[in-house]
């Protein structure tokens, strides 16, 4: 059971989470938590302030989050849980020492950053473990650094799954089997030398999936503040509604294209271990939820499972005469991207030009320099990707036509289709992304007339057919 930042953000929320975990104690839950609310942002900001040498600013930046955690701890645990309150005071003291060190040295390495930002998850996990203990549960806080072994790419460490399996079997599984609830930190890991690492922003979901895999769990539950994965971002499309089932590849595609539901890497371990992932609403624990399962019946839908958008992105159009009848041209072009560590999202080619999308902060000036003599580069900033995702898209007749017609009068600047069987992507000006989402949603997810009693959603579970032959999972970043 993984609880996100909004599910553990305050007294009421933590109280609800504790009740919820206790409710499920017969299922031997292993609990993974995120940092409370925006604590991770505050920790990053404090670390940056300290690097500038301003310790007062750094401490002031983190003070509200620490004060909030201490207030919540006081309220929930009361004065008599001296042990838990002391553990939380230790977190505060260690953080202050670290920030002072950074401020004195005016040096902030990625390794130190990870050590600092990991305290957010540490606070919540200590707090929740203490709370469960106070309510009579047999509970153990296990430091994630004992089992979540990673490499040393600080800030976006890669988990070492074989080692994790072994360490989880040693440090987590025996407690669960004995009926002890285990509470641990998401997002945080450690290298073989014991240096603290993090899995990248939003990485707690991934932690939960890694644990689910290592424990061969029945299910990985991602508890958040929405009813599962929605057909679109409800801030852009108010009529967006929860989806019953998705394939892992669809979920990964949606995550990669901007749906802020799950960390894109979450699906891989769950797929490999064949553990279904459910995305559930902490506020409505018995309400609707989404199941991400490879056995999803995709034949039952209209070709599109959900929409996502991501922006701003920058479109680069590279034009050269050398592309005519030459081989190896694209390799040379993309080698320059690789050398500068620029990730490409979408690619489209024409006779003598290639267009692709990159992140807005990519070192484009340096790229243009490197490509001098090879290609002329046109740069279009402030664009957005609008993606329609659904298994079997390539073979669903008329879907592309319907989507293009729905977008009218707007015409997309780029169209990407056929790279796999589940993604149809458009690039539009950033200002048009919301309207494009709305129009596509109207087309593919028309409001269900209230007169009809037919349910808007498919019956559950719709996991009936196996994935098509040749289906491969390809979402590992
Ligand atoms: N607390 C981390 C973040 O804000 C990890 C997570 O919440 O998944 O990115
Ligand atoms: Mg998250």
One digit per residue, the tens of pLDDT, for the chain of length 477 reads 999 999 999 999 999 999 999 999 999 999 999 999 999 999 999 999 999 999 999 999 999 999 999 999 999 988 778 888 898 899 999 999 999 999 999 999 999 999 999 999 999 999 999 999 999 999 999 999 999 999 999 999 999 999 999 999 999 999 999 999 999 999 999 999 999 999 999 999 999 999 999 999 999 999 998 889 999 999 999 999 999 999 999 999 999 898 877 898 999 988 899 999 999 999 998 888 999 997 787 776 768 999 999 999 999 999 987 666 678 888 999 999 999 999 999 999 988 899 999 999 999 999 999 999 889 999 999 999 999 999 988 888 888 999 999 999 888 999 999 888 899 999 999 999 999 999 999 999 998 766 544 444 444 443 333 333 333 333 333
Separation of CA 431 and ligand 1 centre (Å): 28
Angle subtended by helix axes 161-171 and 204-215, to nearest 10: 70
Ordered by where they begin, the domains of the chain are 6-217 (3.40.1160.10), 306-444 (3.30.2130.10)
Joined tokens for residue 383: 């664009």
Protein residue with its CA nearest to atom 5 in ligand 1? 202
In this prediction the pTM is: 0.84
**Residue among 203, 207, 210, 279 whose CB has most ligand 1 atoms within 8 A, to mutate:** 203
Residue 39 Cβ < 6 Å to ligand 1? no
| Tokens read off for 351 | 């006779």
Ligand 1 close to Cβ of residue 204 (< 6 A): yes
82-105 and 39-51 helices cross at what angle (nearest 10)?
30
CA of 11 to the centre of ligand 2 (A): 20
**Half-sphere exposure (CA, 13 Å, Cβ side) for 11?**
11
Rounded to 5 degrees, φ, ψ at 272 are -60, -35
Identify which of 3, 9, 12, 10 has the alpha carbon closest to the alpha carbon of residue 33. Answer: 3
Ligand 1 neighbour 412 (Cβ under 6 A): no
CA atoms within 13 A on the CB side of 197: 24
Identify the nearest ligand to the CA of 222 by its number: 2
Ligand 1 closest atom vs CA 4: 7
Report whether 111 contacts 195 (CB < 8 A). yes
Tell me which residues have their CB within 5 A of the ion that is ligand 2: 4, 202
In three state form, how does the secondary structure of the chain look?
Answer: CEECCCCCCCHHHHHHHHHHHHHCHHHCCEEEECCCCCHHHHHHHHHHHHHCCCHHHHHHHHHHHHHHHHHHHHHHHCCCCHHHHHHHHHHHHHHHHHHHHHHHHCCCCHHHHHHHHCHHHHHHHHHHHHHHHHCCCCEEECCHHHCCEECCCCCCCCECHHHHHHHHHHHCHHHHHCCCEEEEECCEEECCCCCEEECCCCCHHHHHHHHHHHHCCCCEEEEECCCCCECCCCCCCCCCCECCEECHHHHHHHHHCCCCCCCHHHHHHHHHCCCCEEEEECCCCCCCCEEECCCCCCCCCCCCCEEEEEEEEEEEEEECCCCCCCCCHHHHHHHHHHHCCCCEEEEEECCCEEEEEECCCCCHHHHHHHHCCCCEEEEEEEEEEEEEECCCHHHCCCHHHHHHHHHCCCCCCEEEECCCCCEEEEEEEHHHHHHHHHHHHHHHCCCCCCCCCCCCCCCCCCCCCCCCCCCCCCCCC
Ligand 1 atom 8 nearest Cα? 202
Distances (CA, A) of 390 to 236, 304, 355: 20, 4, 24
- Ligand 2 center to 360 CA (angstroms): 22
Is the C-beta atom of 203 inside 6 A of ligand 1? yes
């Amino acid at each position: 059971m993984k609880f996100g930042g909004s599910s553990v953000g305050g007294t009421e929320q933590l109280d609800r989470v504790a009740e919820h975990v206790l409710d499920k104690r017969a299922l031997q839950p292993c609990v993974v938590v995120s940092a409370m609310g925006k604590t991770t942002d505050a920790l990053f900001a404090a670390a940056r302030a300290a690097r500038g040498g301003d310790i007062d600013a750094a401490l002031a930046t983190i003070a509200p989050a620490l004060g909030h955690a201490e207030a919540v701890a006081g309220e929930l645990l009361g004065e008599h849980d001296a042990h838990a309150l002391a553990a939380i005071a230790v977190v505060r003291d260690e953080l202050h020492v670290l920030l002072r060190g950074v401020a004195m040295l005016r040096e902030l390495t990625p390794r130190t950053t990870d050590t600092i930002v990991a305290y957010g998850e540490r606070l919540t996990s200590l707090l929740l473990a203490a709370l469960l203990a106070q309510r009579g549960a047999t509970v153990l806080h296990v430091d994630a650094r004992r089992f979540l072994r990673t490499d040393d790419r600080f800030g976006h460490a890669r988990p070492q799954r074989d080692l994790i399996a072994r360490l989880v079997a040693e440090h987590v599984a025996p407690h669960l089997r004995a009926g002890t609830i285990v509470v641990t930190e998401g997002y945080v890991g450690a290298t073989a030398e014991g240096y603290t690492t993090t899995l990248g922003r939003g990485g707690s979901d991934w932690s939960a999936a890694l644990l689910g895999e290592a424990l061969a769990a029945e299910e990985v539950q991602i508890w958040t503040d929405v009813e599962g994965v929605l057909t679109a971002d409800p801030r852009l499309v108010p009529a967006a509604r929860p989806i019953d089932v998705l394939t892992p590849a669809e979920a990964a595609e949606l995550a990669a294209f901007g749906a802020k539901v799950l960390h894109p890497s979450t699906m891989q371990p769950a797929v490999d271990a064949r553990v279904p992932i459910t995305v559930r609403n902490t506020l409505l624990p018995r309400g609707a939820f989404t199941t991400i399962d490879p056995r999803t019946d995709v034949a039952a839908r209209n070709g599109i499972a959900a929409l996502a958008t991501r922006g701003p992105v920058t479109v680069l159009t590279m034009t050269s005469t050398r592309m005519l009848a030459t081989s190896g041209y694209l390799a040379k072009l993309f080698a320059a991207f690789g050398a500068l560590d620029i990730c490409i999202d979408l690619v489209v080619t024409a006779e003598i030009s290639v267009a692709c999308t990159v992140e807005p902060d990519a070192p484009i000036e340096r790229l243009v320099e490197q490509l001098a003599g090879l290609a002329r580069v046109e740069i279009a900033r402030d664009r957005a990707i609008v993606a329609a995702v659904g298994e079997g898209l390539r073979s669903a007749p008329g879907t592309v036509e319907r989507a293009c017609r729905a977008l009218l009068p707007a015409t997309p600047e780029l169209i990407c289709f056929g790279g796999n069987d589940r993604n149809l992507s458009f690039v539009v000006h950033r200002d048009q992304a919301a309207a494009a989402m709305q129009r596509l949603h109207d087309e593919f997810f028309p409001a269900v007339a209230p007169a009809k009693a037919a349910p808007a959603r498919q019956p559950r579970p719709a996991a009936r057919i196996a994935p098509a032959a040749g289906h491969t999972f390809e979402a590992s970043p």
